[in-house]
Amino acid sequence: MINPEISLSFRTLALAQCGATILAAALWWLGAIVGGFGMENATAGAAEAGILLVTSLLALVLFSPNKKRPIATIATLWSAASFVRFLAALGGSTLLYYTAQFGLRSLMFSFLLTAVFLLIAETKVLSSMLLKIGKLYNE
């Protein structure tokens, strides 16, 4: 059996990552201001979302989704890239904690909010891409 090779859309994945992090940062900012948690918490959350966005885009560039790969390989590489990306983002968050002296709870919860939004957006985009490709091969 021949394992088909596919490539993923860099632009679509990058837009999904940008949209997810911007939405998470906006919700965090709005929640911090409306909830009365202060400008420092709002800024910490937005900075954390920025770190996740930069880390995600760098990981996406290194992953190079436009390169043709076997379908099974793409799934494995994407899982590994996501794991490494979140470890790198945690490292960047740790640096942000020590250099900017933001509160740990703000950074942690903002990281989790943004990470969940990123995972949901990426899963939705990847599953729709793979579904389209699967339909092409099954016809």
Which residue, 36, 12, 11, 32, is CA-closest to 110? 32
Q: In this predicted structure, which of 29-38, 65-74, 96-105 has the lowest mean pLDDT?
A: 96-105
Q: Is the pLDDT score of 17 beyond 90?
A: yes
Q: What is the pTM of this model?
A: 0.87
Which pLDDT score, from 0 to 100, does residue 139 have?
Answer: 64
| Alpha-carbon distance values, 81 to 34, 39, 73, 77, 99 (Å) | 36, 33, 12, 6, 27
Domain ranges of the chain: 5-138
Which pLDDT score, from 0 to 100, does residue 1 have?
Answer: 61
